[in-house]
Amino acid sequence: MIDFDFEALRRIGLNNTIISRLAETSASASGSQLCRITEYQRDRITLHDGIAEFPARALPRLLAEIPLCVGDWVIAETNSFGEVWISQRLSPMNQITRADSPPIASNIDTALLVMGLDGDFNLRRLERYLALISGAEITPLIILSKPDISSDVEEKIAALNARIPPGTDYLLVNGTAPESVAQLESWLGAGQTICLLGSSGAGKSTLTNALTGTGQATGGVRDGDNRGRHTTTARSMHICLSGACIIDTPGLRSLSPETLSAAFDDIESLARDCQFRDCHHDGEPGCAVAGHVDPDRLRNYHKLQREVRRNQQTASERIAERNKWKSLMKSAAARSKQKRS
Ligand SMILES: Nc1nc2c(ncn2[C@@H]2O[C@H](COP(=O)(O)OP(=O)(O)OP(=O)(O)O)[C@@H](O)[C@H]2O)c(=O)[nH]1
Ligand SMILES: [Mg+2]
Ligand SMILES: [Zn+2]
C-alpha cells in the first residue's frame, strides 16, 4: 500500500473517489508516492506531493499505454540517483478530451468556459465546448468575460439564453476587477478542481491571476479582430486563495505562429540560406532546406503552417476563400460538361 498524507494532498484536490482508486494500483516498493501532475509539457512533467512541486519523468512503458495530462493522479518513485519516475496512473474520475488529440485535463469538478463578450462571442463554439464538457460528465459554468469593454451585451445575453440548455449557469465577469471575480466564490471551495477553457485572449490567465494572486503571463488581443496571441503555451495547475485548484490551459487552437517557429526552428534557420525568400523547399534552385531535413518532418511543417494560417484568418476571410473555391469548382464542372457534350 502506498503511504500518503491526506491533509496535505487535499490541498491539491485529493478526494474519496481517487483514494478508492488507489486500491487498483499494484503494490509498489517503499518510496512510492501519490502525486498530482500540475504541469505537462511535451517532455517536462511537474508533480505536486501536497507540499512542494518537483520535476519528474514518466516511464516509457507507461506513456506508451496511457497519455498523461495535467490533473492526473499518479504513483511516483524516486530512484537512487534522486530522479523521480512516474510508474502508474490512477484511472481518472473524468477527463476532458477532444478526438484525435491528447487529453486536456483530468479529475475536474467544474469547467469554466470563458468567452469574451467582445468579438470572441460565438455561440456555436460555446455549444462545442458544452458538448465536450457534458460528454465528460463535468459541470460547466459559462464565464462571459470583458463585460466592461463590450457592446451589445444585452442582445448577446438574450441570444445566449435562447441557445444554451436550461439550468446551465453563466456569469458576467470582469477578470480585471476583484469584486467581479468574487462572484465565483461558491464554485471555488477547498479541494475543488476547476479547469478553464476558451479561445486565446478570452481572459483565462487573467482570471487565474485574480483567483491565485499570482502572475501567469497574460497578453493583449490583436487590434481589429479581438483574437488572442496564444500567451499561455502549457496546461498548468495553481492553487487559488480560496483553496481550490485551478487549471489554466492555452486557447484550444493552441498552435500559434510563435509555437510553430519554436518547434521547427531548425527548418526556419536553414531557410534563411535559401536562394529565394519565398522558397517552398520543393525543388527550387538554391534551396538550403530540402535534402537537409527529414522529408516527413518538412511535410508536417507545411501542414501545420497551413493550419496556423487558417486559424489566423477571420471568419469573413474564411467565407471569402470558401466562396472563391466553390466558384472555381463550379466553373471547372461547367467546363468538363461542355467538353463531354
Ligand atoms: N477589460 C477587460 N480586459 C480583460 C478581461 N479579461 C481579460 N482581459 C484582457 O484580455 C487580454 C487577454 O487575456 P489573457 O488572460 O491573457 O487571455 P487567455 O485566455 O489566457 O489567452 P491565451 O493564454 O492566449 O489562451 C489581456 O490583456 C487581459 O488584460 C476583462 O474581463 N475585461
Ligand atoms: Mg493564458
Ligand atoms: Zn528552400
Taking CA 240 as the corner, what is the angle to CA 235 and CA 246, rounded to the nearest 5 degrees? 30
Where b means 16+ CB within 10 Å and e means fewer, 106-117 reads bbbbbbbbbbbb
Q: Which residues pair with 245 in a beta bridge?
A: 193, 239
Residue 322 grid cell: 470558401
Quick one: pLDDT at residue 254?
45
Mutate to test the pocket of ligand 1, among 176, 179, 212, 247 (most ligand atoms within 8 A of CB): 176
Q: Please tell me if the CB atom of residue 94 comes closer than 6 angstroms to any atom of ligand 1.
A: no
Q: Please tell me if the CB atom of residue 146 comes closer than 6 angstroms to any atom of ligand 1.
A: yes
Domains and CATH numbers, the chain: 6-89 (2.40.50.140), 95-248 (3.40.50.300), 255-341 (no CATH)
Asked if residue 238 lies in contact with residue 207, where contact means CB atoms within 8 angstroms, the answer is no
Where b means 16+ CB within 10 Å and e means fewer, 275-311 reads eeeebebeeeeebbbbeebeeeebeebeeebeebeeb
pLDDT digits (tens, 9 = 90+) for 153-184: 999 999 999 988 888 999 999 999 999 999 99
CA of 108 to the centre of ligand 2 (A): 19
Percent of the chain with pLDDT over 90: 51
Flag whether pLDDT at 309 surpasses 50.
yes
Alpha helices in 60-165 (DSSP H): 60-65, 123-135, 153-163
Measured CA to CA, the distance from residue 272 to residue 65 in angstroms comes to 40
Residue 336 binned pLDDT confidence (cut-offs 50, 70, 90): confident
- Threshold 0.85, pTM exceeds: no
Residue 39 grid cell: 504541469
Q: Please tell me if the CB atom of residue 249 comes closer than 6 angstroms to any atom of ligand 1.
A: no
Neighbours of ion ligand 3 (CB under 5 A): 274, 279, 281, 287, 289
Asked if residue 169 lies in contact with residue 86, where contact means CB atoms within 8 angstroms, the answer is no
Please report which ligand is nearest the Cα atom of 204.
1
Q: Please tell me if the CB atom of residue 227 comes closer than 6 angstroms to any atom of ligand 1.
A: no
Question: How many alpha carbons fall within 13 Å on the CB side of residue 286?
Answer: 8
Mean per-residue pLDDT, 28-35: 80
Asked if residue 90 lies in contact with residue 18, where contact means CB atoms within 8 angstroms, the answer is yes
- Label the pairing between strands 73-78 and 84-89: antiparallel
Residue 2 binned pLDDT confidence (cut-offs 50, 70, 90): confident
Q: Please tell me if the CB atom of residue 82 comes closer than 6 angstroms to any atom of ligand 1.
A: no
Measured CA to CA, the distance from residue 245 to residue 260 in angstroms comes to 30
Q: Which residues contact 144 (CB under 8 A, 6 or more apart)?
A: 115, 116, 117, 121, 156, 157, 160, 170, 171, 172, 173
Please report which ligand is nearest the Cα atom of 201.
1
Got the DSSP string for 38-73?
EEEETTEEEEE-SS-EEEEEE-HHHHHH----TT-E
Counting atoms of ligand 1 from 1, which one is nearest the CA of 230? Answer: 24
Residue 129 binned pLDDT confidence (cut-offs 50, 70, 90): confident
Mutate to test the pocket of ligand 1, among 153, 180, 205, 259 (most ligand atoms within 8 A of CB): 205
Give the start-end residues of each E strand in the chain.
32-41, 44-48, 53-58, 73-78, 84-89, 95-96, 105-106, 110-116, 139-145, 169-173, 193-197, 235-239, 245-248
Flag whether pLDDT at 316 surpasses 70.
no
Flag whether pLDDT at 23 surpasses 70.
yes
Q: Please tell me if the CB atom of residue 116 comes closer than 6 angstroms to any atom of ligand 1.
A: no
Taking CA 108 as the corner, what is the angle to CA 247 and CA 60, rounded to the nearest 5 degrees? 75
Mutate to test the pocket of ligand 1, among 195, 231, 233, 311 (most ligand atoms within 8 A of CB): 231
Q: Picking from 53-57, 101-105, 153-157, 218-222, which range would have the lowest pLDDT averaged per residue?
A: 218-222
Flag whether pLDDT at 221 surpasses 90.
no
Asked if residue 133 lies in contact with residue 113, where contact means CB atoms within 8 angstroms, the answer is yes
Measured CA to CA, the distance from residue 315 to residue 161 in angstroms comes to 23
Closest CA to 55 of 69, 41, 34: 41
pLDDT digits (tens, 9 = 90+) for 85-124: 999 999 999 999 876 678 899 999 999 999 999 989 988 8
Counting atoms of ligand 1 from 1, which one is nearest the CA of 196? Answer: 19
> For the chain, what is the radius of gyration of the CA atoms?
24
